[in-house]
Structure 1
Amino acid sequence: MNQQEMTDRIARGQGFIAALDQSGGSTPKALRGYGVSDDSWSGDDEMFAQIHAMRSRIVESPCFGCGKVLGAILFEKTMDGDSGGKPVPDRLKERGIVPFLKVDKGLEDEANGVQMMKPMPDLESLLARAKAKGVFGTKMRSVIKRNDPAGIKAIVRQQFAEGARILTAGLVPIIEPEYDITAADRAEGEKILLEAIEEGLDALPAGQQVMLKLSIPAEAGLYSGLVDHPRVLRMVALSGGYSTDEACEKLSANPGMIASFSRGLLQDLRASQTDEEFDATLGAAIERIHAASMA
């Protein structure tokens, strides 16, 4: 797929985006969920080898290339690895899946009700490397813990500022100011978030587009006005800790948003499964998430 084909697939494709971007801090938890205990590996190299084997198994599964997975978000080490004998971005595109890269370096400590992203001084070099590997876009996450208008506005400003660097490098940023789904004041805080996002979108130069990845809103349909915004390429939803069934049910009530799930996609996969069991389990999750995304 060339750049225009990838753009068209993300903008109009009937499917969802898989999140395969667990980083160093979340990798042990992801491996435990997959049935790989901490004593199965020693040191970062062995840990990342284990998680890469899991991701490669997903990428190579027959159901993953069925056309219902539009894109996949990768961790940097996954982007640099191989699957099916080819570089992962090339293998994904060969299977009709658009590659994205997680670029943030983690979160700052909470202040003003939010966790901002840590500085990314080497972002341009990472973006150049990703572009050379055929990656289409990026993903960066920050987190809102409570309804503090100053904090919410600051977190969105940071997301769009980093997004501008990504657009300059020729990639499409996924803007992800996640709202903690356990926050008691989420319904009101998400209205502040919506206003801040609209301001950020309206300030983008004409012709530029970003993607938005948001928690499924407490008030169904809250973000419907963003779906057709001329500067939004696609609206995607994170599962945010919901189970697959919960996330799909809530997503179905928000037409125009498609899934970008991690836990909701991977929760029932196990290293001990036979290939047939693995493919059947992954395929069932893909079917559920696809149906909710197209509701």
Structure 2
Amino acid sequence: MNTQQMEKIKTGKGFIAALDQSGGSTPKALAEYGVPEEAYASEEEMFDLVHEMRTRIMKSSAFHSDKILGAILFEQTMDRKIDGDYTADYLANKKGIVPFLKVDKGLADEKDGVQLMKPIDHLDETLKRANDRHIFGTKMRSVIKEANQEGIHKVVEQQFEMGKIIIGAGLVPIIEPEVDIHSADKEAIEHQLKEELLTHLNMLRDDERVMLKLTIPSKDGFYQELVDHDRVIRVVVLSGGYSRDEANKKLKRNQGLIASFSRALSQDLHADQTESEFTHALQTAVDSIYDASVNKTQ
């Protein structure tokens, strides 16, 4: 465990950039960036193009450790290089940004009002490679759509079961039970989810610590107990389909929460922008997300 990186994530001012679009979400991410599906003829070409997009973001002067604490990477990104260095080493050594890795393999079909994670095949091998590539922590996502107690329990149970394996490998897990922002039950889900999270956090040993990535709550300050829990390193939130302006506005009203945005970070970036235009758009996004993460209105 890198103690310097741990201290940065635990106490640093800033946010975590999510650059972890996977195979299923990559075509949409590329299309929003201005690269249509007809621009590539194979999955290999698609991943080459998305790595070019991510590399452009990470190499930008707007992407720096003054305001960005960490970055979540897709598995293929971890195994690729930027300027001759593996991506995690480039982030840590050239940018001062802590690298994380998305380890889930996508979502299972909905059952009991939730989507559990698909089985994470070869997790031990992935975690070994993550350590070899100097990754600090991991991220894995589930989705909750209904206030179904059994379904929510299964989501949290699965997340913590995987989280303990990740802790055992010497990495920090980001546990992400996303709540669908369009759910009519959103506030009821959040009450049930918080109780499940507190129950599982209280079952961790003193030396077992996690991060949480949650949907911005309907009630301001609702997750303060999680922020203050001694088994929680940091609580970050996803934009979850909100526009960047709306997500920032909601985040600003929640003490202790910081952003871990994906689409809201990159929504104004386009392949055909000049470097000056690209840098300006990214800097605008970084500045606004940073401000919402560190300057609260409560």
Answer yes or no: same fold by TM over 0.5. yes
Could you tell me how far 1:232 is from its partner in structure 2?
0.3
SS in structure 2 of the partner of residue 134 of structure 1: coil
Could you tell me how far 1:207 is from its partner in structure 2?
2.0
One-letter amino acid matched to 1:286: V
Task: Work out whether 1:170 is the aligned partner of 2:180.
Answer: no
Task: Work out whether 1:23 is the aligned partner of 2:22.
Answer: yes
Alignment of 1:120-159 (within 5 A): 120-159=120-159
What's the counterpart of residue 243 of structure 1? 243
Deviations, residues 203-225 of structure 1 (Å, cap 9, x unaligned): 11112210000000011111011
CA distance in 1, matches of 2:66, 2:98: 11
Deviations, residues 247-278 of structure 1 (Å, cap 9, x unaligned): 00010111100000001100000000011110
CA distance in 1, matches of 2:107, 2:289: 28
CA distance in 2, matches of 1:43, 1:19: 24
Runs (4 or more) in structure 1 with deviation over 3 Å come to none
Gap runs ≥5 in structure 1: none
Gap runs ≥5 in structure 2: none
One-letter amino acid matched to 1:81: R
SS in structure 1 of the partner of residue 165 of structure 2: helix
SS in structure 1 of the partner of residue 46 of structure 2: helix
What's the counterpart of residue 222 of structure 1? 222
Aligned length: 294
**Conserved in 2, the CA contact under 8 Å of 1:60 and 1:84?**
no
What's the counterpart of residue 204 of structure 1? 204
Could you tell me how far 1:228 is from its partner in structure 2?
1.6
Identity, in percent, stands at 53
Could you tell me how far 1:66 is from its partner in structure 2?
4.6
Alignment of 1:273-292 (within 5 A): 273-292=273-292
CA RMSD of aligned residues (A): 0.8
CA distance in 2, matches of 1:245, 1:84: 34
What's the counterpart of residue 34 of structure 1? 33
What's the counterpart of residue 69 of structure 1? 68
Deviations, residues 53-84 of structure 1 (Å, cap 9, x unaligned): 00000000011015210000000000011113
**Conserved in 2, the CA contact under 8 Å of 1:17 and 1:73?**
yes
TM-score (norm 2): 0.97
CA distance in 1, matches of 2:42, 2:120: 25
Could you tell me how far 1:121 is from its partner in structure 2?
3.0
CA distance in 2, matches of 1:56, 1:84: 9
